């Protein structure tokens, strides 16, 4: 009994010694023992000033795009996609939808999965989903069926509000939200 205890203690001590001294080779149950200097260093979070700079760059890039599109296509109640617009079922709304989707895509590429842009990410994805729905329903082709026209209203409203929602998301990105 004592021999077995001593053998276990010696084996444990040799494993601990190998681990602590950074020996490489095989360890317990076929797992490699890595030298102590090979452990990955913890990832560093970007500094607050770097995050602020990234957020400012995203906002300015997006703002440039949004402003140009809004000037040409309108936004909110002035959009051809506003549910009260007589152009909601025309190619003019489809052009606004395409521009909103492109701006949303730009936003997603700019934030590229970075933390601190949850609102912008959510808004951009919601806009892209609305554009896909608007397009798949054929809303821009002047549908005559009442149920299709009704189904077009919700995605069109999201599209009409899209530029404003992207701007708000970029502004909230400055606050890390």
Question: pLDDT by residue (tens digit) across 76-85?
Answer: 999 999 999 9
The predicted model scores a pTM of 0.71
* b/e code 95-128 from CB counts within 10 Å (16+ = b): bbbbbbbebbebbbebbeeeebbebbbebbebbb
Residue 20 counted as domain residue: no
Residue 162 counted as domain residue: yes
**Residue 15: predicted pLDDT:** 38
Residue 112 counted as domain residue: yes
Count: domains in the chain: 1
Q: pLDDT tens digits, residue range 23-66? A: 444 443 443 443 333 333 344 455 667 777 888 888 888 999 99
Residue 8 counted as domain residue: no
For residue 72, give its domain range.
48-174
Residue 27 counted as domain residue: no
Residue 15 counted as domain residue: no
Residue 21 counted as domain residue: no
């Amino acid at each position: 009994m004592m021999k077995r205890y001593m053998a276990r203690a010696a084996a444990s001590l040799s494993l601990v010694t190998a681990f602590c001294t950074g020996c490489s080779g095989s360890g317990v149950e076929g797992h490699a023992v890595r030298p102590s200097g090979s452990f990955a260093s913890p990832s560093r979070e970007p500094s607050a000033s770097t995050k602020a700079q990234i957020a400012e760059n995203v906002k300015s890039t997006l703002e440039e795009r949004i402003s140009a599109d809004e000037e040409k296509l309108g936004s909110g109640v002035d959009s051809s996609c506003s549910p009260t617009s007589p152009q909601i079922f025309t190619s003019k709304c489809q052009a606004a939808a395409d521009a909103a989707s492109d701006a949303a895509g730009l936003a997603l590429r700019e934030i590229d999965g970075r933390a601190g842009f949850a609102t912008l990410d959510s808004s951009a994805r919601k806009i892209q989903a609305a554009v896909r729905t608007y397009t798949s329903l054929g809303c821009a082709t002047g549908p005559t069926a009442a149920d299709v026209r009704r189904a077009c209203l919700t995605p069109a409203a999201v599209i009409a509000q899209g530029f404003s929602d992207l701007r708000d998301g970029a502004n909230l990105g400055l606050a890390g939200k």
